[in-house]
A and B are shown apart, each in its own frame.
Chain A
Amino acid sequence: MSELLAIEAPPAVEAASWWQRHAAARRGLVVPGLVLLVWTIATHYGLVNKHLVAKPEKVIERAIKEISEGGLFVNLLASVQRDLIGFALGAVAGIAFGGLLGVSRLFDRLLGPTFHAAKQVAMFAWIPLMSVWLGTGEQAKIVFIAVAAFYPIVVNTQEGIESVAREHIEVARAFDYTRWQIVRKVVFPSALPSIFAGVHTGLIYAWLGTIGAEYLLSPGFGIGNLMIEGRESLQMDKVLLGVVVVGLVGAAINLLASRLEQYVLRWRVTAFEARQ
């Protein structure tokens, strides 16, 4: 039956070797590899001021020193902890608020304009206000991180809810769904891809906000603080170590978020997959 053939079977793949299967990962490592190469050459051949840029092996030495003396883990843990707490707060508030704006036209009219205006204020411009109101303690940092994650999540959640297909809602109505059932079973799953996109962006902003908060609301532990220490005593290896760690953690967060998104939204066919 011709209709049966219309099912898209994945293209026939012979068991790919380990080397082949990790082609994508290999390609992703090309640029970092080049950066490492340029960095090594620049520092070893005196192309940059050695007081401003430490050699890669010095950064590794510093890493080993910090790990063995426990400093790195303490700072990393502090950073990750406040990142997660701040993000969680911002995400819950963001989905709730975005949901409200999306579902209720009244609330959108009342609160929307103020929200969108406040959104225009650059994240870091809130710091002076926050440091006066909340001080520079843990609380202030977590609030700042939460605010950083809040905005993209609200915007994406609202958009996701507003773009639910009218056709699907009609189907639910034809089957006597109550208003609450329609929200739970049609609107929410329909908006989930958008909400995930917002959460993904929120995670990135939260990590950015974490380092920023540590830097600008300084007293305390954290990778940002590690970098401040390094800067103040001109220990560039410490600073660069901080940079590398920030980058690695950011990449790890991004990867986890992508994988989670892929799994939850596996019913989608995206243009990305079609490209394979």
Chain B
Amino acid sequence: MNIVAEQPWLWAGLLAYLVATLVAMWGLSPRLAGSESVQSRRHERVVLGAIALGVLLLTIAIAVRWVRIGHGPWLNLFELLMSQLWSLGLIYALLYWRLPGLRPSAAIVMLVMWILGSWVLLLEPADSHFPATYYNFWKWFHVGLGKIFLALMLAGVGLGGVMILRRTERGRQWFRAMPTDAAIDKLAWRLMMLALVFDSLMLITGAVWAQDAWGRYWAWDALETSAFFTWLLLAVGLHVRLSFKVPPWLSGVIIISIFALAFVTYFGTPYISPSAHKGMV
């Protein structure tokens, strides 16, 4: 097997994420509830430190690849996964740091992150071609805003997962250190509303880019349709809560469904459909 320059850094970054995942899960164990490290929440510092280290190593991996092939990680699935692992880690680390209430849910978040982590390990780090339409500077906003959106959704998935798991005795044990379901629900939907802000901005900047790149701002191609569904489902979720009393577990299901749709939009649709949106010619 031929190892390219960025791979060792990528593996090291994932190793750091693995440490974060394991320590986060370790902190949930009811058997360790009395341990000093869990009591004083010192293990949370290890989780945060390991995610931060992972982000740093992934930054190096991305930079090394950038230098090697001459352009950023915008195009093929290997690049997108690597770049999302980086940005999800970075933004989630910030949330983890600023919002102590959600910390135990990192065990769920990091497990979800491993869908990307194990996927990227299966892919060839093939070079990608940089299409003419990618010189456009709106791509920075579109991609950047989209990264914030997905990270907020991911943090919501952690909280949604907690609300669902807490329906079981074991789940209540695991997440004993978290606030009440009602408070988690409130926090989760705040993240959703913020996600809606960034999702909307991502769609707007994407439309501007599409107008520049293909001479139309919206054409219901596969990615646009899928992204619109995600946006609409987010709106539905927010309004369902306005019209009905939604139990926390259902809140969790709604949030996870929106995330699942966003996930398919990011990592499925562009590679399933041969549409122009892939940016290739």
Tell me, yes or no, whether A binds B. no
Which residues from chain B sit less than 8 Å from chain A, CB to CB? none
